[in-house]
């Protein structure tokens, strides 16, 4: 697939890719996006704009993408199946492509029970896998889910997410295989804290040859405090945080510094892991640390590929 996506070019060049996340504001003010775009320019190959993450109403992912593109950085829009049926999803894909957005991350989406509009009606017409399969057909064959053919199909590079740390563990590589079969070009994993468990998942992924079919971005999440680590261990379903990591954060003199150090070490380990093609840095509410992490992990300068 040649979509013109910078992220695609970096992957295709064989370089170790870096992506990061910019959380859209809970307001109509574009300034936080512009601010982060200026700050992060040159430190990652593309930036995820979350789609009403945890079902909290925020400035839309597509609008956020256009705002950061004005600053000269490349977006990855997220499109969840929670709020839009297949008419809206396909329509927004066409719209996103027309606006010059080249990367789309397909997600089922966090249930609305977690957010600030608990009384809303959920959609879930698709799930992430069927979303990918429909988008892939639309871009390759110009054919909609309902069969109608369209002129000028969208030019998009398609991503997905997978969580090696959710049950049943033995099905998680299979689930990635399903997403690859559906047409995913790249995958971002859930934040990794248990490196042994991630290695085990990667063993299965490699055994199935999936690392040759899909570009794998390993997810990392820098933590500020031991409390944050404990919260993720105990309160976030599908997250595994080993006790050693919590202890390390707890015993550190400066937990923020320790969090950065840990994140950089994780990236070093992931860089050396066969089949891992890049990292996705989820510095939630801590975007300003991304430049430092990328630099200390020896990932600068970011490649410029024509």
Partner 1 sequence: MIVAKRKPMAEIAEMVAPYKTVKVIGCRSCVAICLAGGEKEVKMLVSALRLKAKKEGRKQEFEGLVVERQCEKEWVEEVEGKILDSDLVLSMACSLGAQTIGDMYPKKIVFPALNTGIFGVPEEQGVWSEKCVGCGNCIIHTTGGICPIARCAKSMLNGPCGGSSNGKCEVNLEVDCAWYAIHERLKLQNRLDLIEQVSPPKDWSTSHSGGRRVYVRDDAKLTQHQKKGKEAVR
Residues that bind partner 1 (CB under 8 A): 81-82, 86, 108-111, 113, 122, 124-130, 133-134, 145, 161-163, 166-168, 171, 174-175, 177-178, 181-182, 190, 237-238
Contacts of residue 160, Cβ cutoff 8 Å, sequence gap at least 6? 105, 106, 107, 128, 132, 176, 179, 184, 186, 187, 188
Rounded least distance, CB 131 to partner 1, Å = 8
CB of 209 to partner 1, least distance (A): 15
Q: How far is the CB of 217 from partner 1 (least distance, A)?
A: 15
Closest contact distance (angstroms) between CB of 212 and partner 1 is 19
**Is residue 282 packed enough to be buried (19+ CB in 10 Å), middle (13-18) or exposed (0-12)?**
buried
- Separation between Cα atoms, residue 304 and residue 9, nearest integer Å: 9
In whole angstroms, give the CA distance from residue 221 to residue 151: 41
- Which is closer to partner 1, CB of 70 or CB of 171? 171
Which lies closer to partner 1 via its Cβ, residue 42 or residue 142? 142
Dihedral (CA of 287, 289, 292, 294) sign = negative
Q: Residue 71 or residue 110: which is nearer to partner 1 going by CB?
A: 110
What is the rounded distance in angstroms from the CA atom of residue 78 to the CA atom of residue 7? Answer: 15
Distance of CA 250 to the CA centre of its chain: 28
Nearest to 278 by CA among 26, 3, 14: 14
Stated length of the chain: 306
In degrees and rounded to multiples of 5, residue 251 shows phi and psi of: -85, -5
CB of 20 to partner 1, least distance (A): 20
User: What is the closest distance, in whole angstroms, from the C-beta atom of residue 179 to partner 1 in the complex?
Assistant: 8
User: Nearest distance from residue 175's CB to partner 1, in Å?
Assistant: 8
* Gyration radius of the chain over CA positions: 18
Q: What's the rounded Cα separation, in Å, for the pair 45 and 57?
A: 27
Alpha carbon distances (Å) from 81 to 22, 45, 47, 92, 104: 20, 26, 20, 12, 13
Q: Which is nearer to partner 1, 168 or 301 (CB)?
A: 168
Task: Say whether the peptide bond before residue 160 is cis (omega within 30 degrees of 0).
Answer: no
Q: How far is the CB of 201 from partner 1 (least distance, A)?
A: 13
Q: Which is nearer to partner 1, 138 or 297 (CB)?
A: 138
Nearer to partner 1, 130 or 269 (CB): 130
Task: Name the residue nearer to partner 1 (CB basis): 26 or 122.
Answer: 122
Q: At what angle do helices 195-207 and 172-182 cross, to 10 degrees?
A: 50
For partner 1, give the closer residue by CB, 17 or 145.
145
Dig out the tokens for 277 from the structure.
Answer: 């093609």
């Amino acid at each position: 697939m040649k979509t013109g996506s910078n992220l695609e070019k970096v992957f295709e060049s064989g370089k170790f890719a870096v992506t990061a996340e910019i959380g859209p504001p809970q307001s109509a003010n574009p300034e936080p996006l512009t601010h982060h775009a200026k700050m992060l320019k040159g430190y990652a190959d593309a930036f995820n704009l979350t789609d009403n993450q945890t079902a909290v109403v925020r400035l839309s992912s597509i609008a956020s993408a256009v705002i950061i593109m004005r600053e000269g950085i490349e977006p990855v829009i997220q499109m969840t199946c929670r709020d839009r049926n297949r008419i809206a999803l396909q329509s927004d894909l066409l719209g996103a492509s027309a606006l010059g957005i080249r990367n789309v991350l397909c997600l089922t989406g966090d249930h609305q029970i977690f957010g600030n509009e608990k009384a809303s009606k959920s959609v879930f017409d698709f799930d992430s896998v069927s979303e990918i399969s429909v988008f892939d057909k639309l871009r390759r064959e110009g054919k909609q889910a309902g069969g109608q053919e369209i002129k000028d199909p969208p030019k998009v590079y398609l991503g997905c997410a997978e969580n090696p740390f959710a049950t049943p563990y033995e099905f998680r590589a299979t689930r990635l295989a399903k997403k690859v079969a559906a047409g995913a070009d790249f995958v971002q994993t859930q934040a990794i804290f248990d490196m042994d468990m991630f290695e085990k998942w990667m063993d299965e992924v490699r055994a199935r040859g999936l690392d040759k079919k899909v570009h794998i971005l390993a997810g990392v999440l820098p933590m500020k405090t031991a409390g944050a680590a404990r919260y993720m261990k105990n309160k976030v379903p599908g997250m595994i945080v080993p006790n050693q990591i919590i202890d390390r954060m707890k015993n550190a003199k400066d937990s923020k510094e320790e969090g950065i150090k840990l994140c950089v070490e994780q990236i070093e380990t992931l860089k050396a892991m066969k089949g891992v093609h890049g990292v996705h840095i989820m510095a939630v509410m801590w975007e300003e640390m991304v430049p430092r992490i990328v630099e200390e992990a020896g990932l600068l300068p970011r490649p410029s590929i024509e």
